[in-house]
Amino acid sequence: MNKKRLLFSAAMILLLGMVLGACGEKKTGDKKGKDGKIKLLSMATGGTGGTYYPLGRDIANMIQDATGIETKAITSNGSIENMKLIKKEKVEIAFTQTDIATYASEGTMMFKNKKVGNMSGLGILYPESIQLVTLEKSGIKSVEDLKGKTVSIGEAESGTRANAEQILEIYGLKADDLKSRYLSFDDSATGIQDGTIDAAFITAGTPTGAVEGLAATEKLLIVPIDADKIDALIAKYPYYIKETIPTGTYGSDHDIETVAVPAMLVVRSELTNKLVYDMTKAIFENTNKIVHAKGKSIKAENALNGMGTDLHPGAKKYFDEKGVSSK
């Protein structure tokens, strides 16, 4: 074997060792320093046009200030994906709808045989309104009018999609009765504006950024849910609550009756009690630092109402100190 071949062989062995070493490293969930302490917290939120992401950035900053641990809000498709990210240990904190969190913790519905067993609740935040958005000129006045129309029912792994399918069900419709699209809030708003879709389901805290942007250039209609259908929906799916989108939202001249599901934060169960206590305290005692209008709805006294998952002991300690219990 000549000198060049020996050098080549040595280089290949060195390269192979580096590759094997890299393969042996933890690719996800390995955010601890040599001292074993967490150095980075990741928070799964939603799309940039919704409520989770802008709210998540503020909350991430609050957690970072309180704990000294770098905390980052990351975008995602929403609640269902966020639960999967928790299960895969890709993130430590996640926004989700309470219905989706319950399905995940029980291993039911879209999580059948895929239970997320490493998740605990931190606290309920605010109600998320189910908004069926269209243009006044579309001619769509009710859910029944969606039949045969091109409608965004939410991204594939979003809570919005689950909500849309359940509301359609109560009206005797299925996603197949529509020309269903699976779009983000921003893409839904763009689609309504350019006429490629007729309407969109959007589950988010109001006002929702993507819808506000659309309302700035178009005359919108938020389609109401009929009272009898609201009652039927809540009877079958008790995670829903009645909700009124008030006059003036998106330029509306009247209240809009619909339903909502509470938004909540969950954490990986393995996080220490002290860390989760500090996080919980930072959030519920600094809501004045939240820029989004929904910050006003985040109150410790409401943080346990409707939670369908086990509460993390660190969060429980905080709420016990505040004298908060579920109602």
What's the pLDDT tens digit per position in 63-95?
Answer: 999 999 999 999 999 999 999 999 999 999 999
Per-residue b or e along 59-69, where b marks 16 or more CB atoms closer than 10 Å to that residue's CB: bbbbbeebbeb
**Cβ–Cβ under 8 Å, residues 321 and 113:** no
Give the pTM. Answer: 0.82
- The answer for residues whose C-beta is within 8 angstroms of residue 257's C-beta and 6 or more apart is 224, 225, 227, 230, 242, 243, 244
Residue 21: what pLDDT?
37
Residue 130: what pLDDT?
97
Which amino acid does the sequence have at 284? F
Residue 138: what pLDDT?
96
pLDDT tens series, the chain, 327 aa: 454 454 444 444 444 444 333 333 333 344 665 456 899 999 999 999 999 999 999 999 999 999 999 999 999 999 999 999 999 999 999 999 999 999 999 999 999 999 999 999 999 999 999 999 999 999 999 999 999 999 999 998 899 999 999 999 999 999 999 999 999 999 999 999 999 999 999 999 999 999 999 999 999 999 999 999 999 999 999 899 999 999 999 999 999 999 999 999 999 999 999 999 999 999 999 999 999 888 999 999 999 998 889 999 999 999 999 999 876
Q: Tokens representing 200? A: 């969109």
Residue 22: what pLDDT?
38
Residue 10: what pLDDT?
44
